[in-house]
Chain A
């Protein structure tokens, strides 16, 4: 892995050659818009690129004698996605693990292998940010992805690929500068949760606390749809006479339909059960299976919640309820 500095003008030249093959998340655009003049397509998060809110899977048609099935081709044109560390973690540590775990989700894989990630360091955490609490950080990076720190006149880059050819050696000095910068941003953020926290949660399933925490929840899907890691989907079918198609779309654990069973029984009937499931899935169930938190601390759900529910605050209150933590 190599590193270096790219001057602003050179960076812009490179962007110019990529044009419509650049995706940019809303947050990256807000923070570093000047680095991405015009063309780039702005998305809510990586989820919108890799796992869109609606996607046709196959079409079918009665061809007189038999059913004809036509699979949907995913083009998977090579492109770049620039995003913040929390959003990158959502892809690399969460959705990749889920969709590329056997059996591999074909559409996701075709899009994913054509996508190159550029992680932009987060220099101004927002009031809703808490990435460090759940194991991430404003300078979180991954070997497979480019890591970038935009500065005044140039951009620090670490990783591999064609972009590195544009860079100049930064030397030891830049390493120190980066470390100091990282320290400075990290100081503003909360310290990580104790590692035993997820296991502890296991004992809190029946807590009275959940009634109070969940009471104001509206059971809307704003948090789940905007969350960069929520990956639940529903498969539905559309049919006219003897032709139609099957497609998938987002589903949310906040909806009654999500757990509704044939015959009308619903194992999660009220707000409390749905709410508890959402938070325990984020913090415990996913941890049990994949060894990491499903929440990357981006704070989108906190900003989006119409009734001011904050996952960071829920974590705080659960911690308080636990005398050992």
Chain B
């Protein structure tokens, strides 16, 4: 999966001092996991990996360097690069200090789905194959193990890149995705579903902190004056937090699903921002993170915007 090419590229960039740092993935502390890593010397580039478990959105790691003078190379899947586009458009980072190594994304495998379907797997019993993997002596296609957000992904290729490693991929974009499934239920069923999901939330804010676009210095959830929500994870406060967050991401969410994958309680928390994006796409024909010239949909208006709901 182009791992060698990525290492070579990172090494080359560091050697010629085109960049000071490379942000990429390395193997995790558990099997079937990859975690973000920071590489600053050419020798260390050997630790970089690129596989179906590279789940975190690395654009999240850019902002700590906003006020430094470091030039950064970032490994970016389709959604990571879209997040970078939004950050650039929102003037959170200078374009000249970032070097995007674009990676057309083959989709991220959900560890939860792996365990659900195959039980507990040992690392020794697992090996990659063309378009799938071998496990417990059988060959499996990766499609049925993909993360829910990857199943509906329409932009596996980065919209913006300085180097592109690997071949461009066709969009998966299945229309029968989990958002569609929930939307087809009745209002009451949906409320039941969200009550169940949101009451499990422990409000650790992993979703918010894993999100590349949740970069407010002070989040409304932790603000003291005014205090919007209390620190107790009750259903009402949890709903308030997730509603508030998804509205705050309106027109900005790049549908990467990093929030959902970060959730330690495995709550389908990505659904809310995804729904907001769907509303915005249908009503204002806008999708975030595709172009640097785009105008954020909530920072503009048209005279003929939908207004029937207003008396």
Contact = CB atoms under 8 A, between A and B. Distances in A.
A127 B33 CA distance: 13
A53 B232 CA distance: 6
Interface of B: 28-31, 33-38, 56, 60-61, 64, 202-206, 208-210, 222, 224, 227, 230-234, 261-264
22 contacts: A53-B232, A53-B233, A54-B231, A127-B31, A216-B36, A221-B203, A221-B206, A224-B204, A236-B231, A250-B231, A252-B204, A256-B222, A271-B64, A306-B56, A306-B261, A306-B264, A307-B56, A307-B210, A308-B30, A308-B34, A308-B35, A312-B29
A313 B26 CA distance: 14
Given A220-B210, A306-B206, A310-B29, A54 B56 contact: no
Contact of B29 (A234, A249, A313): A313
A45 B29 CA distance: 23
A256 B208 CA distance: 14
A306 B30 contact: no
A249 B204 contact: no
Contact of A302 (B29, B37, B233): B29
A226 B232 contact: no
A220 B33 contact: no
Nearest to B38: A215
Given A218-B210, A255-B222, A256-B222, A249 B231 contact: yes
Interface residues of A, number: 38
Question: Chain B binding site: helix, strand, loop or mixed by DSSP?
Answer: loop
Contacts of A302: 29-30
A307 B36 contact: yes
A218 to B, nearest CB: 4
Interface of A: 53-54, 127-128, 212, 215-216, 218-222, 224-226, 234, 236, 238, 247, 249-252, 255-257, 271, 302-310, 312-313
A215 B30 CA distance: 18
A53 B230 contact: no
Contact of A218 (B38, B230, B262): B262
Nearest to A307: B35
Given A220-B204, A220-B206, A234-B231, A128 B30 contact: yes
B35 A225 contact: no
Contact of A221 (B29, B61, B205): B205
B232 A54 contact: yes
Contact of A225 (B56, B204, B230): B204
Contacts of A54: 230-234
The 3 A-B residue pairs with the shortest CB-CB distance, nearest first, are A54-B232, A308-B35, A306-B262
Nearest to A224: B204
Given A216-B38, A222-B206, A308-B34, 17 more contacts: A215-B36, A220-B204, A220-B208, A221-B202, A221-B205, A222-B262, A225-B202, A225-B204, A226-B202, A247-B230, A251-B231, A257-B224, A307-B35, A307-B262, A308-B35, A310-B30, A312-B29
A271 B230 CA distance: 24
A305 B35 CA distance: 10
B54 to A, nearest CB: 11
A318 to B, nearest CB: 15
Contacts of B222: 255-257
